[in-house]
Amino acid sequence: MFSYLVFVAQERLNSQLAWKVSQLQAERDELRDSVHRLQAEIAGLRRAHAAEIECIKTRVWCQVCLREALYHCCAGIAYCSEACQLEHWTARHSRECRRSIEVASGSASTSASGNSVLASSSSSSSSSSASLPASLGLSNSLAMATTILPLQSSGLSASNAGR
């Protein structure tokens, strides 16, 4: 009788353990599937994030307020509005602008549409407009007025103007 009771108790424990093991295995499988779903979602989010970063990298940003720029002046300088361009021009860009230096030194060329474009000049790119002789007759306001061009009129788009 005692051995029978031990046998019944062992069988009961074995069935409880088997049930618990199957329950834990089912939970493990469910968690494994959840991990795979989350990893796939993370991979998708990473791809979307990388694509968004590439899209943002192709845009040009205003030098003053960091909004998306619609106008460009010279290489690497762009503005969202004429107000931002004027603010940056009076604060510092009038002394550094490659386009106004080239216009003042007579090395700017005109495109077929009549817009002034940057011409490559090795000697004028390192000088500043403050050191230009007054005999050129180019005031800062005139240079500023001729430098800002809408991206569309200069043949550039907002996506490739910063390159």
Angle between helices 82-91 and 140-147 (to 10 degrees): 140
Q: Who contacts 124 (Cβ-Cβ below 8 Å, separation ≥6)?
A: 98, 101, 102, 105, 107
pLDDT digits (tens), the chain, 163 positions: 788 888 899 999 999 999 999 999 999 999 999 999 999 999 999 999 999 999 888 888 899 999 999 888 888 889 999 999 999 988 888 888 877 766 667 654 444 344 433 333 333 333 333 433 333 333 444 444 445 555 544 444 444 444 3
- Residue 47, domain member (yes or no): yes
**Residues 27, 95 within the same domain:** no
| Residue 132 structural domain | 71-150
In a domain, 28, yes or no: yes
Please give the single-letter amino acid code of residue 35: V
Q: Is the pTM of this model over 0.85?
A: no
Q: Is residue 163 part of a domain?
A: no
Based on the fold, state whether residues 13 and 45 are members of the same structural domain.
yes
The count of C-alpha atoms lying within 13 angstroms of the C-alpha of 13, restricted to the half-sphere facing its C-beta, is 6
pLDDT (0 to 100) of residue 106: 67
Q: Which residues, in sequence order, are CB contacts of 159 under 8 Å at separation 6+?
A: 58, 59
- Domains of the chain: total: 2
